[in-house]
Structure 1
Amino acid sequence: MSCSGFTCSKNCLCAINLLYVMVSMLMIGIAAWGKWFGLVSSFQVVGGIIGVGVFLFFVALAGLIGAIKHHQVLLFFYMIILFLVFVVQFSVSSACLAINKEQQNHLLEVGWNNSRSTQRDVEKSLDCCGFSHVDVNETCAAACFSHTKCDTCAAKIQEHAGEVLRFVGGIGLFFSFTEILGVWLTYRYRNQKDPRANPSAFL
């Protein structure tokens, strides 16, 4: 059974935006929880996740209000923003799925060198020291540093980096298709007449 009616389009659009609201709240909550319990000490990482969550929340809120009120201008801007988000997310997800081992190692090393607080988080959580070699003259947050020989963090990260990239790429790809579905629903919904409105009114 096809969803071609005004009410069905409206309900589908509202459901998609409610899903985005929940995802955005989950992102903000997880980032705040990680910072509160000291799992992540890097402000850039936490701030970036919260920023993306807030952006997604406002985009979803605009889409929800536009769908409920059948507001033409709000739905138009929502459709444009959602399409741009789809392009970016689809590109990043495809890159995550297509990245090879050498590119993956290079990106990990660049990320490692960019933030000292991220290095401490990784060393503490994975119980490792240094990226490609352990320097005994430097401090290390890992428990193994004081009494036993530590492994390098590159070896431990690379064990799971490929799986994480495939998981993130797959989830991103899934949500990118829900975004293009939202764009199509918004485009069609904008051009439908509200059956409760004046039949002679032109949209």
Structure 2
Amino acid sequence: MGCGGFVCTKNSLCALNVLYVIVSLLLIGVGAWGKWFGLVSSFRVVAGVIGVGIFLLFVAFLGLCGALKHHQVLLFFYMLILFLVFIVQLSVSAACLAINKEQQVKLLEAGLKKSPATLKDVERTLNCCGFSEVNTTGTCEADCFSKLDSCDPCGPLIQTHASEVLHFVGGIGCFFSFTEILGVWLTHRYRNQKNSHLNSGAFL
């Protein structure tokens, strides 16, 4: 039987969803590991990473169940959810690749102002204080704060890596978005195929 057959399409769809399961477990594990070892103190960041992992795990199990049972309803909802995720992820990935330096600075500053816990993590990791300037009357998690002459603002330090990180995230996002559209295509194809192991007149 060729690779376009029922069994091959089913196995390809199952393999794709196993990949999603692995990625989702990695996301959940990384989020929990970062929180457990105190690398990330912001609950919002950890909850966001773990939440994305749980959602992806749910979608992967939905796809696996639909593929193994050739269940039309499960496959339809899986295909619909995967297509919506594809649109959102491709849009975010394109924005990451297209954003300029001024927009990066504004987004970083706004994000760190809304999440003081994340700013503390950045200060501790990069050994810097504040975003655009060092506030000598405030508090800072960096070791250099005891010697203010050696403390630099975090903004310029983050900016040196922001473009690389955004391009990396955008590239990874684009790659996975195309695996999602592949999943949509495989699901659509699989839903309309007959199982050759059943009655030749049966159509599931």
TM-score bracket, normalised by the shorter chain, equals over 0.9
Task: Report how far residue 196 of structure 1 moved.
Answer: 0.9
Q: Cα gap change, 1:138/1:76 in structure 2, threshold over 3 Å: closer, same or farther?
A: same
SS of match in other structure, 1:173: helix
Partner of residue 149, structure 1: 150
**Partner amino acid, structure 2, of 1:77:** F
1:139 partner SS = coil
Match of 1:29 in 2: 29
Match of 1:43 in 2: 43
Q: How does 1:37-186 map to 2 (within 5 A)?
A: 37-147=37-147, 148-186=149-187
State the Cα distance separating 1:112 from its structure 2 match: 1.0
1:133 & 1:3 partners in 2: Cα distance? 60
Runs of 4+ in 1 over 3 A off after TM superposition: none
- Please say which of residues 84-93 and 109-118 is displaced more in the overlay: 109-118
Percent identity, aligned pairs only, is 69
> Counterpart of 1:27 in structure 2: which amino acid?
L
> How many Å separate the matches in 2 of 1:199 and 1:124?
66
Describe the SS at the equivalent of 2:150.
coil
Where does residue 14 of structure 2 map in the other structure? Answer: 14
3-state DSSP of counterpart to 1:193: coil
Query: Is this contact kept in 1: 2:17–2:60, CA < 8 A?
Result: yes
Could you tell me whether the CA contact under 8 Å between 2:2 and 2:8 is conserved in 1?
no
1:184 and 1:202 mapped to 2: Cα distance? 19
Aligned residue pairs total 203
TM-score normalised by the chain length of structure 1? 0.98
> C-alpha separation between the residues in 2 aligned to 1:196 and 1:36?
49
**What are structure 2's unaligned runs of at least 5 residues?**
none
**How far off its partner does 1:2 sit?**
6.6
Could you say if the C-alpha distance between residues 163 and 103 of structure 1 is closer, same or farther in structure 2, counting changes exceeding 3 Å? same
State the secondary structure of the residue aligned to 2:137: coil
Maintained 8 Å contact 2:195/2:203: no
Q: Deviations over 1:26-53 (max 9, x none)?
A: 0000000000000000000000110010
Deviation at 1:3, TM superposition (A): 2.5
* Secondary structure, counterpart of 1:7 in structure 2: helix
